[in-house]
Structure 1
Amino acid sequence: MRLYHWKQWGRPRTRRRKLLALGIGRDEVHMASRSRKGHWRVSRNSIVHRAMTDVWLHDQEVPDLVKQWESIRYPDGPKDTVGTA
């Protein structure tokens, strides 16, 4: 999901502005926003992870894929494995 947002931000100027707004320092913002690495690699960077926290992604109404998978895989909730041995 961070990759999606990173691509949406498009230009380095926009990425810089957004990262600064999310509380990342100027030196680190420059390293991330001007990186020549690919979108996928930068989206996995620690700077981007500190800016786009799980809470921030939740506030952006990004669906939680783990919870969706668990609800599909275990529709009745997790099975009780205690005492079944």
Structure 2
Amino acid sequence: MKGIQDFIEHKPRLKVNEENSAVDRPGKRKILGFSFTFHKEPKVRIAKESIRRLHKKIRASRKMSYTMDYRIEKLNQYLMGWCSYFALADTISTFKQLDSWIRRQLRMCLWKNWKKPKTKYTNLIKLGTPPSKAWEWANSHKGYWRISNSPILHRNLGNSYWSHRGLKSLQNRYETLRQIS
């Protein structure tokens, strides 16, 4: 570390930040939100801290009482920028998982917005749920997060529903950006 620091400070005359600088294996370090795998040929991946920050930002937005269209619009703006930045990573599975998690967050927000059992029942019927199942789920006392992963909401508020509402897929955006570069 000392030799590298001396070289950087004397030859190109740059200042080394000692708090953020270290000599270590690539898999153990985080650089600009990216990290590397431990394989013989390391691949670029998104650092876990960057994914945690994305989760935290999306969770914070669910407390706001936005309309669903406005929520999706703002979410698309943020996610498209985030995806463009992290498109260098070789981790399509991360983008698939994030897509799934985001849709579940939106299902939870929608379920929360419906509030009363009668509203839930009516909206489930509109989505094509059989009346007996709609009544059963509308009167469920399970938590919002648990119900957001229920088979009824998962089927009726699936990928096609959210794409119709305007939600853009991170996975599709990632694949498009990878083809361009």
What band does the TM-score fall into relative to the shorter chain?
Answer: 0.7 to 0.9
Q: 1:2 to 1:24 in 2, by over 3 A?
A: same
Q: Which of 30, 45, 48 is residue 150 of structure 2 equivalent to? A: 45
Decide whether the 8 Å contact of 1:23 with 1:51 is kept in 2: yes
Structure 2 unpaired stretches of 5+? 1-105
What is the match of residue 24 of structure 1?
A: 129
1:14 to 2:14 alignment: no
- The DSSP-based 3-state class of the residue aligned with 1:15 is helix
Bigger relative contact order (CA 8 A; separation at least 6): 1
Cα separation, 1, equivalents of 2:110 and 2:132: 21
Unaligned runs of 5+ in 1: 79-85
Find runs of 4+ consecutive structure 1 residues off by over 3 angstroms. Answer: 65-68
Identity between Structure 1 and Structure 2 (%): 26
Cα offset for 1:67? 4.2
Write the distance in 1 (CA, Å) between the matches of 2:127 and 2:118.
14
Superposition RMSD in Å: 1.9
- CA deviation map 1:46-74 (0-9, x unaligned): 01111112101111123434445x37xx9
Counterpart contact for 1:2–1:43, Cα < 8 Å: yes
TM-score w.r.t. the length of structure 2 is 0.37
Q: Which residue of 1 aligns with 2:22?
A: none
- Label 1:59 to 1:3 Cα distance change in 2 as closer, same or farther (>3 A): same
Query: TM (normalized to structure 1)?
Result: 0.73
In the alignment, the residues of structure 2 paired with residue 57 and residue 19 of structure 1 have an alpha-carbon distance, to the nearest angstrom, of: 15
- Compared with structure 1, are the counterparts of its residues 42 and 61 closer, same or farther at alpha carbon in structure 2 (3 Å cutoff)? same
